[in-house]
Amino acid sequence: MFKAFFPDRYIVSSYKIDYEGLFEKGYRGLIFDIDNTLVPHGFPADDRSIRLMKRLKDIGYQVLFLSNNKEGRVKMFNDAVDCMYIYKAGKPSRKGFGEAMDKMGCTRENTILIGDQLFTDVWGAKRSGIMSILVAPIDKKEEFQIVLKRIAERIILRAYRNYCKKEGKVFLEDGE
C-alpha cells in the first residue's frame, strides 16, 4: 500500500551520497529539492552547498533545482551556485519532473531525484519513473503544513523500515 512512497534509497544527508559512484553507473542528471535537503528552510546557499554543486558539475552532472517555492526563494539560493531551476513546480506532478529532464537533456534512466519529503519529492520521482534518494531533513524547524506531513511520513517510514528488514536491505544509509 505504501510502496508508492518508498524511496529507492534513504541516505542520512545529501552531502553523504557517493555521486562519483552513481556517475560511474551512468547517472547524468540530478534533480534537487532545496529546503531541508541542501540548506535549512529559507536559507541561502552556504559554503557546503556551493562546494557540492561545484563538485557535481566537475564530475559532469547536469544539476537542476525543482522547487514548489516561488522564484525569489529559488533564485536566492541559485545565485550562488548557478544551476538550472524550476520554481512553482507543482511536485508531485510529473510535469515538473519531465520539464526538468528536458532542460537537463536527461532521461528517466539516468536521472536521480534527491529530496527530504516523501509526498512531494519521492512520490513525484516514482510517478515520473526516476530513481529517488530520500535524505533526512537538515533542520527540525519547519512550516506547519510540513510538520503535519511529517506525521504521516513517520508511518510510511516505519513500513519502509519493515520492508527493508524483510528484504535484507539497509534502511538508512550513512553514505559514502
DSSP string, the chain: --GGG--SEEES-GGGS-HHHHHHTT--EEEE--BTTTBSTTPPP-HHHHHHHHHHHHHT-EEEEE-SS-HHHHHHHHTTT--EEESS--TTSHHHHHHHHHHHT--GGGEEEEES-IIIIIHHHHHHT-EEEEE--S-S---HHHHHHHHHHHHHHHHHHHHHHHHT--SSB---
Average pLDDT, the chain: 94
Residue 174 in domain: no
Q: Residue 39: phi, psi to the nearest 5?
A: -145, 160
C-alpha cell at 40: 535549512
Residue 43 in domain: yes
Could you tell me the CATH number of the domain that includes residue 100?
Answer: 3.40.50.1000
Among the residue ranges 29-33, 37-41, 147-151, the one predicted with the least confidence is 147-151
C-alpha cell at 86: 524550476
Question: Over 80: is that where the pLDDT of 43 sits?
Answer: yes
Residue 175 in domain: no
Report the C-alpha gap between 97 and 25 in whole angstroms: 21
Read off the pLDDT of each residue in 15-25 and give the average, rounded to a whole number: 97
Question: How many distinct structural domains can be found in the chain?
Answer: 1
Class of residue 40 by CB neighbours under 10 A (exposed 0-12, middle 13-18, buried 19+): middle
Structural domain of residue 99, as residue ranges? 3-167
Residue 102 in domain: yes
Read off the pLDDT of each residue in 3-32 and give the average, rounded to a whole number: 97
Amino acid at 75: K
Read off the pLDDT of each residue in 159-171 and give the average, rounded to a whole number: 94
pLDDT in tens, 99-154: 999 999 999 999 999 999 999 999 999 999 999 999 999 977 767 777 778 888 99
| Bridging pattern class, strands 131-135 and 9-11 | parallel
> What pLDDT is recorded for position 176?
61
Residue 27 in domain: yes
